[in-house]
Amino acid sequence: MKKKNSVKKGTIPIYIVLGFASLASLFPFYWMFVMATRPSAAYNSIPPAMLPGTKLVENFQKVLDTIPFFQAMWNTILLCTGVTILVLLISSLAGFAFAKFDFPGKTFFFIAILLTMVIPPQLGLIPQYYMISQLGWLDTLMGAGVLFLLNPLGIFLMRQYISESVPDELMEAAKLDGCTNFRIYWSIVLPIIKPAFATLGIIVFTLVWGEFLWQFTVLRDPSSYTLQVALASLNTAFRVDFGMLLSGVFWATVPLIIIFLMFNRLFISSITDGAVK
Amino acid sequence: MKNNSGTTGSKKKKYVSEKKKDMRSAYLYIAPFFIVFAIIGLYPAIFSIFLAFQEWNGLGPMEYVGLRNFTIVLEDPLFWKSLYNTVIIGLMGTAPQLIVGIILAYFLNMAIIRFTNFFRVTIFMPYITSMVAVALVFGVFFSSNESALANYFIGLFGFDPISWKTSEWGAKIAISLMVFWRWVGYNTIIYLAGLQSIPKDVYEAATIDGASKVQQFFFITIPLLKPFIVLTVFMSTVGALQLFAEPTVFLGSSAFSRDEAMTVVMYLYRDAFNLGSFGTASATAVLLLIIIVGAAAINTWLTSGAGRKKKKGV
């Protein structure tokens, strides 16, 4: 609002509402940072501490002493990356089949995918846990990741994108040149659908990054913790050190904020692409 | 394959095998999804329904007990308390979101408003934080401590400090607020996409006809936004019924021992993994499925029904 003249008078209340919404959205981030830099005792000060203190490093040191923070960060990155790559492959292959091929049962299979979206993930929780434990996959990233491979939304997005952006003529031409179907997928379809990969990739990556119930259920050993499970474990001590707790949350959130600010348009469009179809 | 196409000419033969090849490719390409679905989606879902009629602790043999698991769950006051909590927190956490989301989206869509990208990004930002992170930050904000920041704020308005984590309404309000905070930007973005899909000339025509901005909002914007409202109401309802991470992490060590904010999924989890009763937990899972499908059906029926009634009225 530097150029005051360009803001029309009647719109000031609207700016106040939007400004307040922005402030309310940002405040917890800022306050988390403030608390992460202060001793736990600062929590009791009246009026409350609103400016950063000097314990940034010390609090984080305490986090490192309590949970395997970097191990958990690494586990999370491995988990999210692995799942995302596999979901992109599974979804794009199936999306390609639904967009470009005719085969008996096509409608049946497509409706089946629709129905898989209706089953709430908690329904199968106990058998899934039992299967994973029978396989010996408890406390492993495989066990934590396998559930996320089921992503019907991905097929919808891919089918939509492939049927809109891969011309039939291109496929026919490639076939005349003797390309196999897989070659067409690999060398023609994949390069064209990169933007859809970015959208679906962001959806899957953030989904796995933030999911809690399943990871909390199968990851019990601290060395296998992902960030969410590790952070949650900080809060179960009898006396919680707030400075330490929020330091952990802060450093686990910073990478995500940086990525978000760099690619915010992509993040926001992934929401509308994913939901509004 | 060669034998099958026998006497037909070579051109035709090639065509047929090409088509068959395509079919084979297609089945091959959808196979990974359906194999994954069969193993980790369909089989566990069916197994769960089967388990709901068994008594089982996960180790010993199963024993068929008919409907007893359902009777146990339905006669347990804690199940009803958890369902009540889930519904109350769901309503308080999501209903205001939809209203605030529409208003914010409407403002962000006004041509005369500047800095919309800044507002859009900041309002959306809470969504990228994980539910666990939100619950922990709000857990400190709403700590039961007398000097908790939330207590300081309500103190400014003359209220007494509240023990947020151990009081009936304190816990519900705190959890609803964190749900609201994290999701309102998400819904705003969806409504904004909806508003941008409404052609500008509709408003121009209305302005020429003398409709005020408020009239335009209620008679043009809201009706044209309806598909988007239906979508968000649906997603919010289903999501609210599955609430687990926020209350569990917010309450920390007392999550499964207190009932002020226990949700249905927490009740299920407690049965299975704290009490080792897989049968009743599976019965709860089946009940949850019925509740979710029922809520979704009522939702669809209400939103389509309400729309029809309105049209008749006008």
Residue range B22-36, pLDDT digits in tens: 899 999 999 999 999
Higher-confidence position of A276 and A95: A95
| A184-202 mean pLDDT | 93
pLDDT score for B161: 87
pLDDT score for B111: 78
Residue B173 C-alpha, separation from nearest chain A C-alpha, in angstroms: 17
Backbone angles phi, psi at B55, to 5 degrees: -100, 125
Residue B57 DSSP code: -
Residue B159 DSSP code: P
The helix (run of H) or strand (run of E) holding residue B87 is helix B77-108
| A50-75 mean pLDDT | 90
Please judge whether B40 and A232 are an interchain contact, meaning their C-beta atoms are less than 8 angstroms apart.
no
Give the separation between CA B235 and CA B228, rounded to whole angstroms: 11
Q: Is B64 helix (H, G, I), strand (E, B) or coil?
A: strand
| B170-180 mean pLDDT | 95
pLDDT score for B14: 55
Candidates A139, A44, A105, A212; CA nearest to B136 is: A212
Interhelix angle for A227-234 vs B131-141, to 10°? 20
Residue range B104-148, pLDDT digits in tens: 999 999 878 888 899 999 999 999 999 999 999 999 999 877 778
Please judge whether A231 and B132 are an interchain contact, meaning their C-beta atoms are less than 8 angstroms apart.
yes
Residues forming beta bridges with residue B55, ordered by sequence position = B63
pLDDT score for A270: 86
Q: Which of residues 229 through 248 in chain B touch A, CB cutoff 8 A?
A: 231, 235, 238, 241-242, 244-245, 248
The helix (run of H) or strand (run of E) holding residue B32 is helix B10-37
Give the separation between CA B168 and CA B51, rounded to whole angstroms: 33
Give the separation between CA B307 and CA B229, rounded to whole angstroms: 11
Please judge whether A28 and B115 are an interchain contact, meaning their C-beta atoms are less than 8 angstroms apart.
no
pLDDT score for B143: 86
Candidates B4, B26, B46; CA nearest to A105 is: B26
Candidates A207, A112, A185, A191; CA nearest to B33 is: A112
pLDDT score for B306: 56
Q: Is B133 helix (H, G, I), strand (E, B) or coil?
A: helix
- Looking at every residue in chain B, the average pLDDT score rounds to 88
For residue B21, which amino acid is it?
Answer: K
The pLDDT confidence band at residue A49, using thresholds 50, 70 and 90, is confident
| B57-83 mean pLDDT | 93
B205 contacts chain A (CB < 8 A): no
Q: Which of B17-21, B38-42, B81-85, B163-167 has the highest mean pLDDT?
A: B81-85
| B85-103 mean pLDDT | 95
The pLDDT confidence band at residue B311, using thresholds 50, 70 and 90, is very low
pLDDT score for B314: 35
A70 has pLDDT over 50: yes
Give the separation between CA B193 and CA B285, rounded to whole angstroms: 35
Residue A61 C-alpha, separation from nearest chain B C-alpha, in angstroms: 19
In sign, the C-alpha dihedral spanning B258, B264, B270, B275 is positive
Give the separation between CA B167 and CA B174, rounded to whole angstroms: 11
Q: Which of residues 51 through 110 in chain B touch A, CB cutoff 8 A?
A: 51, 58, 100, 103-104, 107-108, 110
Contact yes or no for A79/A145 (Cβ under 8 A)? yes
Q: Is B158 helix (H, G, I), strand (E, B) or coil?
A: coil
B142 contacts chain A (CB < 8 A): no
| A231-253 mean pLDDT | 88
Please judge whether B22 and A235 are an interchain contact, meaning their C-beta atoms are less than 8 angstroms apart.
no
Pairing of strands B54-55, B63-64: antiparallel
B2 has pLDDT over 60: no
Q: First CA to last CA across chain A, in angstroms?
A: 36
Residues comprising chain A, all counted: 277
**Closest chain A residue to the Cα of B18, Cα to Cα:** A175
Residue B70 DSSP code: H
Give the separation between CA A20 and CA A14, rounded to whole angstroms: 10
B1 has pLDDT over 60: no
Please judge whether B132 and A212 are an interchain contact, meaning their C-beta atoms are less than 8 angstroms apart.
yes
Q: Is B52 helix (H, G, I), strand (E, B) or coil?
A: coil
SS3 content of chain A, % helix, strand, coil (to 5): 75, 0, 25
The pLDDT confidence band at residue A53, using thresholds 50, 70 and 90, is confident
pLDDT score for B10: 47
pLDDT score for B308: 53
Residue range A208-233, pLDDT digits in tens: 999 999 999 999 999 999 999 999 99
pLDDT score for A6: 57
* B214 burial type by CB count under 10 A (0-12 exposed, 13-18 middle, 19+ buried): exposed
Contact yes or no for B89/B172 (Cβ under 8 A)? yes
Higher-confidence position of B6 and A171: A171
DSSP conformation letters of A7-76? S-GGGHHHHHHHHHHHHHHHHHHHHHHHHHTS-GGGGG-SSPP-S--S-HHHHHHHHHHHS-HHHHHHHH
Higher-confidence position of B267 and B211: B267
**Closest chain B residue to the Cα of A41, Cα to Cα:** B147
Residue range B258-273, pLDDT digits in tens: 899 999 999 999 999 9
Q: Which of A1, A8, A17, A25 to mutate to test the interface with B (most CBs of B within 10 A)?
A: A25
Please judge whether B152 and A47 are an interchain contact, meaning their C-beta atoms are less than 8 angstroms apart.
yes
Residues comprising chain B, all counted: 314
Q: Quote the ipTM score.
A: 0.90
Q: Where are the alpha helices (DSSP H) in B109-244?
A: 116-124, 131-141, 149-156, 168-196, 200-208, 213-216, 222-224, 226-241
Residue B123 C-alpha, separation from nearest chain A C-alpha, in angstroms: 5
Residue range A253-273, pLDDT digits in tens: 999 899 999 988 888 888 888
The pLDDT confidence band at residue B38, using thresholds 50, 70 and 90, is very high
pLDDT score for B305: 64
pLDDT score for B114: 85
Q: Where are the alpha helices (DSSP H) in A139-193?
A: 141-145, 152-165, 168-176, 181-184, 190-192
B124 contacts chain A (CB < 8 A): yes
Contact list in A for residue B34 (CB cut-off 8 A) is 109, 112
Give the separation between CA A212 and CA B131, rounded to whole angstroms: 8
Give the separation between CA A132 and CA A9, rounded to whole angstroms: 62
The pLDDT confidence band at residue B3, using thresholds 50, 70 and 90, is very low
The pLDDT confidence band at residue B70, using thresholds 50, 70 and 90, is very high
Contact list in B for residue A231 (CB cut-off 8 A) is 132-133, 136, 249
- Looking at every residue in chain A, the average pLDDT score rounds to 89
The pLDDT confidence band at residue A42, using thresholds 50, 70 and 90, is low
Domains and CATH numbers, chain A: 4-13+15-55 (no CATH), 67-234 (1.10.3720.10)
Residue range A95-153, pLDDT digits in tens: 999 999 999 999 999 988 888 877 888 899 999 999 999 999 999 999 999 999 999 99
Q: Is B63 helix (H, G, I), strand (E, B) or coil?
A: strand
| A32-41 mean pLDDT | 85
| A51-68 as b/e: b if 16+ CB within 10 A | eebebbeebbebbeebbe
